[in-house]
Structure 1
């Protein structure tokens, strides 16, 4: 197996540039996940690696080879799409081996490779079935098996779980993680679901408007985001952001009606900032303060309390334990200063 390197990769459609000079190193055997909102360029970037989109400028290397101008078939990659793209008239075994058959690989070798992939994905009992007799998760496993039998240097996944229901998505997410552990291949995976990114990735690449905002391990991005965009995108529910003004004693936060002390090197007194705090770092005090509980989402072991401040700003707080606020309660909140983050009001850059 081998890694992937992008050097100043650019993509233009006519006069419109959608990927802006991306530099990235995906190490050999690494599971790298591209995340970002719709239209950020994550699928376009993946398709550029695959060769399905022409690279307008810059270089793409797979291992030591410059594949920028190579056809997809020459790049040594296999791609798994959101749609399964299985041949309905072929059995599972035939679907998995079809690419090798078209390349003239001997029948015995095809059977051996299909059997190996089937063992990994636990598809042995389905080999004689046709796609219509399979569930969505089973069809996606067949699509992944088809990629495995090709023996690619790099696996590329383009939102492969988007068409599955919630239960199957969790199941397939675990299977893909296990697959990576078993075969140790380099994998690049696109998703809009940051939960998938956090649970699967060795490295996450957060994209916005065709540019990389930050690259890092999942917990590194969660604990130490460089800017407000990354802080808000990584974590579920999203980080709360409140307007504040630097004061002598810390930061005045109108939504809370008081000043809070923070563990950060703050700018000059009077400077507007944005205060960020995650729902799981908030403690709720029932029947105190003047934050109105608008809604409580009770999920069993945890509840998410939606609060409305006097300023109209909204706050989500995570609650556990037996005593929890309900809609209509008036509450106050607190958090440890070390848990809060400070961002520049205009640029959104982190103030540390």
Structure 2
């Protein structure tokens, strides 16, 4: 088990630079998740750690070794891909042990390692089956088992759950979390699903356009985002953002019929444009005939519902409602929230005002 360190890591394709000087330390035994929208560079960065993409500049270390230009097979990593990549003519047991067999590992040792991995992943009853006789979740567990038997220093997961249906995704999330708790290995996991990131990670790395926006624990990123991008990406449903302008020590919000909102922080000079950030669960509504805010759509999800409100400026507001009837249709609505729940972001730089 080893940590991973990236120092000024850069990736170029010809004249196009896609990874821009990444500095990052992942501690031994840590579960680190790379998260961000499609095209942000998270899979490219993972493949650089694996050695499947050449590092154009900078240094990648695994443990105390500089592996920047080391072949993938010699880096001490094992990778689980989005596709299972199992051999259809081999049994589960044969698939899991094939890599060891090709490396000349004794048969008894292979059997022992496969048995241990199958016990961890609850695959003991399926060892003699072939992939076509398995469900999608079971196939992904076989792919993970193939990685486990190699005994790597670092596990790398490249969106391993994206091909599974919703229920299996939840089940496999639990499986991977349990696996990490049981074997304590260093794991780097790539996903665009921030729910996966929040539920699995010790550390989240939020990426955008090949750069790190923020690094921290799930709770730290949720409660204390550095900028509008992180605040909007971490959390489901996403944070509401309403345009406002600083006037007389408060923030005037056109979407709320020009309401002046108290600020939880010191404000810049009058005339500065800002975004007012409010999470759906921090909002409630009351009827107000003088308000132009109206209910547009309501989503019922059993114990919780989400009210989508339309404003006179066209900005959308989502309000979480638990246990109540929520907003009434065709009625003016006034939003209620605590000043301490407001986050403000400079509209020009999108950085958080603190």
TM-score in terms of structure 1 length: 0.98
2:74 corresponds to which residue? 74
Report the CA distance between 1:331 and its aligned residue.
1.8
For residues 108-158 of structure 1, the C-alpha deviation after alignment (integer angstroms, 9 at most, x for no partner) is 000000000000000000000000000000000000000000000000000
Alignment match of 2:301 (pick from 296, 299, 302):
299
For residues 231-282 of structure 1, the C-alpha deviation after alignment (integer angstroms, 9 at most, x for no partner) is 0100001111111111224111111121011211110122111111111111
Segment drifting more, 19-28 vs 273-282? 273-282
What is the DSSP-based 3-state SS (H/G/I as helix, E as strand, rest coil) of the residue aligned with 1:255? helix
* Counterparts of 1:323 and 1:192, CA distance in 2: 33
* Counterparts of 1:233 and 1:285, CA distance in 2: 28
* Counterparts of 1:2 and 1:159, CA distance in 2: 22
Report the CA distance between 1:37 and its aligned residue.
0.6
* Counterparts of 2:115 and 2:250, CA distance in 1: 64
- CA RMSD in angstroms comes to 0.9
Matched, 1:269 2:261: no
* Counterparts of 2:126 and 2:181, CA distance in 1: 23
Count residues with an aligned counterpart.
352
What is the DSSP-based 3-state SS (H/G/I as helix, E as strand, rest coil) of the residue aligned with 1:304? strand
Matched, 1:330 2:335: no
Segment drifting more, 181-190 vs 285-294? 285-294
Segment drifting more, 266-275 vs 119-128? 266-275
1:170 corresponds to which residue? 170
* Counterparts of 2:249 and 2:61, CA distance in 1: 52
Q: How does 1:6-45 map to 2 (within 5 A)?
A: 6-45=6-45
The runs of 4+ residues in structure 1 deviating greater than 2 Å are 286-290, 325-330
* Counterparts of 2:18 and 2:249, CA distance in 1: 45
Segment drifting more, 257-266 vs 188-197? 257-266
What is the DSSP-based 3-state SS (H/G/I as helix, E as strand, rest coil) of the residue aligned with 2:255? coil
Matched, 1:64 2:64: yes
* Counterparts of 1:246 and 1:218, CA distance in 2: 31
Report the CA distance between 1:287 and its aligned residue.
5.3
2:185 corresponds to which residue? 185
Contact 2:249–2:267, Cα closer than 8 Å, also in 1 = no
Contact 1:296–1:327, Cα closer than 8 Å, also in 2 = no
Contact 1:34–1:188, Cα closer than 8 Å, also in 2 = yes
What is the DSSP-based 3-state SS (H/G/I as helix, E as strand, rest coil) of the residue aligned with 1:189? strand
* Counterparts of 1:19 and 1:200, CA distance in 2: 25
For residues 42-86 of structure 1, the C-alpha deviation after alignment (integer angstroms, 9 at most, x for no partner) is 000000000000000000000000000000000000000000000
* Counterparts of 1:85 and 1:329, CA distance in 2: 55
For residues 166-206 of structure 1, the C-alpha deviation after alignment (integer angstroms, 9 at most, x for no partner) is 00000000000000000000000000000000000000000
1:283 corresponds to which residue? 284
Q: How does 1:1-352 map to 2 (within 5 A)?
A: 1-257=1-257, 258-286=259-287, 288=289, 289-325=291-327, 327-352=329-354
* Counterparts of 2:288 and 2:213, CA distance in 1: 41
What is the DSSP-based 3-state SS (H/G/I as helix, E as strand, rest coil) of the residue aligned with 1:229? helix
Contact 1:249–1:259, Cα closer than 8 Å, also in 2 = no
TM-score in terms of structure 2 length: 0.98
Contact 1:9–1:20, Cα closer than 8 Å, also in 2 = yes
* Counterparts of 2:215 and 2:74, CA distance in 1: 28
Report the CA distance between 1:323 and its aligned residue.
2.2
What is the DSSP-based 3-state SS (H/G/I as helix, E as strand, rest coil) of the residue aligned with 2:323? coil
5+ unaligned residues in a row in structure 2: which ranges?
none
Segment drifting more, 263-272 vs 31-40? 263-272
Segment drifting more, 308-317 vs 186-195? 308-317
What is the DSSP-based 3-state SS (H/G/I as helix, E as strand, rest coil) of the residue aligned with 1:213? strand
5+ unaligned residues in a row in structure 1: which ranges?
none
